[in-house]
Amino acid sequence: MNVMDDTILSTKRLVLRYQRKSDIEFLVYLWMDEEMTKYTGGPREKQTLIDEFRRISENPREEEYNLWTIESKASHNPIGHAGFIPKEIKGKQYIELNYYIDKEQWSKGYGKEIARGLLDYAFKTKKLDQLIAIIDPENEPSKKVAKAIGMKYWKNEDRSGKNKSIYHIRIGETERVRG
């Protein structure tokens, strides 16, 4: 694949792009890190991750909604994983906005930056009318990002035996939170 044509979206400091084989080592590290996965079910099994990321890198455009590699424009190195995952809530399908920033890059505003980029992409390019974010109630940084991009608390729900807070935004609700 031509490296130049794998960009999904671009922000001031970040590029969200389709996964490459060269991302596998970084993504495995990200998803095996205890601190990174604290609110999302804990570290994943290494071989399962390797197999999944290899499969995705063979055909990175296969799934319409997936998590993609976040790359720093300055260093061209991967710094996270973000995108959309279909979720069912009470029998209805929703698209969940997800972002995972490497802990070495926390507190630099990258979460908010990529979340805003994803919101614009969802509403303008994918023509979605709403998005959700499923967040552990103790994950204050993620709740802060959700609120900063205009998402509002919707409800709590038991998901896989854990209480989760669900945030929600509809198209048109983003214009008032720019800045």
Number of structural domains found in the chain = 1
SS3 labels along the chain: CCHHHCEEEECCCEEEECCCHHHHHHHHHHHHCCCCCCCCCCCCCHHHHHHHHHHHHHCCCCCCCCEEEEEECCCCCEEEEEEEEEEEECCEEEEEEEEEECHHHCCCCHHHHHHHHHHHHHHHHCCCCEEEEEECCCCHHHHHHHHHCCCEEEEEEEECCEEEEEEEEECCCCHHHCC
d(CA 76, CA 173): 32
CATH number, domain of 59, equals 3.40.630.30
pLDDT values of the chain reduced to their tens digit, one per residue, 179 residues: 445 589 999 999 999 999 999 999 999 999 999 999 999 989 999 999 999 999 999 999 999 999 999 999 999 999 999 999 999 998 999 999 999 999 999 999 999 999 999 999 999 999 999 999 999 999 999 999 999 999 999 999 999 888 999 999 998 876 554 44
The interaxial angle of helices 46-58 and 24-32, nearest 10 deg, is 140
Residue 179 is predicted with a pLDDT of: 42
pLDDT of residue 1: 42
Write out the residue range of the structural domain in which residue 114 sits: 3-177
Residue 146: CB atoms within 10 A of its CB come to 26
